[in-house]
Amino acid sequence: MAHEIKIPSVGESITSATLGTWHKAEGEYVKAGDVLLTIETDKISTELESDRDGILHHLAAVGDELAIGAPVASIEEGDAPAAPAGETPAAAPAESSATSTAAPAANAEVKATPVAKKIAADEGIDLARVSGTGAGGKITKADVLDAAADHTASPQQAAATPAPETAASSAPSASSAAPGLLLAEPAPAPASSANRTTRKKMSPLRRKIATHLVNAQHEAALLTTFNEVDMTAIMALRKRVQEDFVARHGVKLGFMSFFIKAVVDALQAVPNVNAQIEGDEIIENHFYDIGVAVGTDKGLMVPVIRDCERKSFAAIEKDIIEYAGKARDGKIALGDLQGGVFTITNGGIYGSLLSTPILNPPQSGILGMHSIQQRPVALDGQVVIRPMMYLALTYDHRIVDGKEAVTFLVRVKETLENPERLMLG
């Protein structure tokens, strides 16, 4: 008896999902609990598992967009098929055996996501040689792709490239040219048009990001104001308490928890930045759930740290680490991304010196952090070198006036430059 696997509901506003990856082959015998496939929506990725033993049949191909509730696979229940009597598996070629036996066998022991294991098996990557960047050192898809990119070109590719001597020998020599004529270099062979571009379908997440950002610019009156913060006090405080903080809480004290606490303080001081427009009404929020932008190989995600006004620095740091790991592994849930009242994005980790971040509607403000740079500043009538960071606040001018925006950003700056009062509550 065949049992259908259908696309599950993953959120009220989501009506379809795209088949991202098959983890089990057509006709393969699977067991209950095996991960069969990964589906991608405009917000998250979800792995679907088998709920029974049987033979898997694919009902859709990678890249297909399927409605919620549509069948994507079927499982023909039964025991694993036995090999015909007297038959033994054919010996694989020596080259493929090194890939299909040794590498997968070793890969089965390594802590990695199902997608990472599949790509490693397809590419012949030994996961034991790959460093994991996921939660707890787990190897992610991005880690395997980076490792695959490091492989050198195959002998066939090298052989297909003409040697310099061959190309040179085909050109006429200077002695055979007509006197007084300057020989031009032979024109390079035109590149194949098939190799000049690559076309691929946008993922649901990338489409959603694109639509979201364009809508934000069209529907809100965006304006950005800038300031800079002297990071000397925070860096000194972190250095003093870091060892005790790690010993007590098991996580490092990072910069982001300071910024989240400073933003909460500023939102309490300037409530309009913690409000949003809905139709012809203004909704004032009296809670402080702060979104923290996290870059992944699938795009930008903004998980939300809940109740930041009540959480300790350690609790916030643990939430950030957990969300970052879930986002990289494609395990983040739809609820993790919803309900934020304000967003913080840190382009500084990529080297950005200054930027104008775009709002995350329906929020009315977003704070951009940037690189910390040693710069000369005037202090008490003298020029001194300080670790400085530019801050950028983009806000919706329909609801937040310029005075309020500047007051908010100055409050953030002053709080960060006097961090002791944050840690003292």
Catalytic residues: 397, 401
The total number of residues shown for the chain amounts to 425
Report, in this order, helix, strand and coil percent for the chain, each rounded to 5.
35, 25, 40
Closest residue by Cα to residue 112 from 319, 330, 334, 332: 330
Sign of CA dihedral 38, 39, 45, 48: negative
Question: Which amino acid, 321?
Answer: I
Closest residue by Cα to residue 291 from 260, 332, 258: 260
Strand partners, 248: none
Sign of CA dihedral 113, 119, 122, 127: negative
Q: Kindly state the helix (H) or strand (E) to which residue 377 belongs, with its residue range.
A: strand 372-379
Measuring CA to CA, how many Å separate 188 from each of 167, 192, 241, 257, 321? 10, 12, 62, 56, 51
Q: How many helices (H) and strands (E) does the chain have?
A: 12, 19
3-state SS of 217-250 is HHHCCEEEEEEEEECHHHHHHHHHHHHHHHHHHC
* 342-346 and 365-369 strand pairing: parallel
At 384, list the tokens.
């001194």
Strand partners, 373: 388
Q: By the 8 A CB rule, do 396 and 220 touch?
A: yes
**Residue with the two structure tokens 């620095």:** 313
Q: Kindly state the helix (H) or strand (E) to which residue 4 belongs, with its residue range.
A: strand 2-6
Per the omega criterion (within 30 degrees of 0), is the bond before 204 cis?
no
Return d(Cα 161, Cα 151) in angstroms, integer: 18
N-term to C-term CA, the chain: 63
Return d(Cα 346, Cα 336) in angstroms, integer: 19
